[in-house]
Copies of this chain bind each other. A is one copy, B any other.
Amino acid sequence: MLSGGVGGAKLVEGFYNILNKTRLNVICNTGDDLELFGLYISPDLDTVMYTLAGLVDEEKGWGVRDDTFRCLKALSEFYKKESWFNIGDCDLATHIFRTELLTKGYSLTEATRILCENLGLDRVNLQPMSDDPVRTMVMVDSGVYLSFQEYFVKRKCRDPVLNVIYKGSDEAKPGGHVLESIARADIIIISPSNPIASIGPILSVKGIREQLKKADCIRVAVTPIIQGAPLKGPADKFMAGLGFEVSALGVAEYYKGLADVFILDERDAYLKNKIEELGYKVHVTDTVMNSLKDKIRLSRFILKAVGLKES
């Protein structure tokens, strides 16, 4: 699975709960990562981890449920301008632990594995797309770029998206087991995350797009856009900003050549033919995931649609 944060993590949770013997590899976006207060923060890796560990604050979609923000409040006294990024007291422990591991010389891939082990996540191989820094930068004015978190959290998505670049992606190498995971997969699923801000950074890492293109297995993309809008987050602004139609069709165009099967929401069934014309095999279902039951249902639907059995 390729995944970003909230939306993608929901489908990952679905598969995590139905697969037993099958190895679940998740290649996760790190284009949103940031350093704050000297700590290395990886929001999408954390959201996937917290979701699978049952710790996530489901209402917010990020962070740890029932977390408090006492340290952040004290930090904001020291770092006047930098307290816009929300870090709860429990969440902070993850960043402190990960930062120490990185400082000791562990790669982000290794640090993620250790974090997952500590959280009891033994049935998933969660991997950063790269151990090297790739930063999703949003151009909001001619030549003016914001980091994704600045655009998203600090500025609350209020700026126009004129362009998006993935800084560092030319030099970044895929994470430790990323290419191998893709090459050995029976099925590749592009989770319903923001195509440009969450999946785009993964595809930008040299070698990953190529490996996906030549992957000789079932390749599925799940739409994150329903009835012309994302369920959460600014995917619409990113797609429109980069000239894609804000619809499942726009998503299908974006993933052309990387997936053969497209999971379309039943509310958008009228787009089926147009997406099929792009070369996809299209399956239509309810893709909204509110409960764990929904997540499991969608996961089972996908497996059945492509003719794979749970194992």
A74 and B99 CA atoms in complex are apart in Å by 15
Q: Please, how many angstroms separate the alpha-carbon atoms of A96 and B115 in the complex?
A: 20
Q: Chain B residues with Cβ under 8 A from A39's Cβ? A: 96
Contact with B along A117-151 (1 / 0, CB 8 A): 01000000000000000000000000000000000
Interface string of A76-101 (1 = CB under 8 A from B): 01110000000001101110110110
In the assembled complex, the CB of A79 is this many whole angstroms from the nearest CB of chain B, namely: 7
Within 180-215 of A, Cβ neighbours of B (below 8 Å) are at: none
A71 is an interface residue with CB less than 8 A from chain B? yes
A103 CA / B92 CA spacing, docked (Å) = 19
Interface size class, chain A: 20 to 34
Contact B97 A68 (CB under 8 A): no
Cross-chain contact A89 with B74 (CB below 8 angstroms):
yes
Q: A68-B68, A68-B89 are in contact. Are A37 and B96 (CB under 8 A)?
A: yes
Q: In the complex the two chains form, what is the Cα distance from A74 to B96 in whole Å?
A: 10
A37 proximity list for chain B (CB < 8 A): 96-97, 100
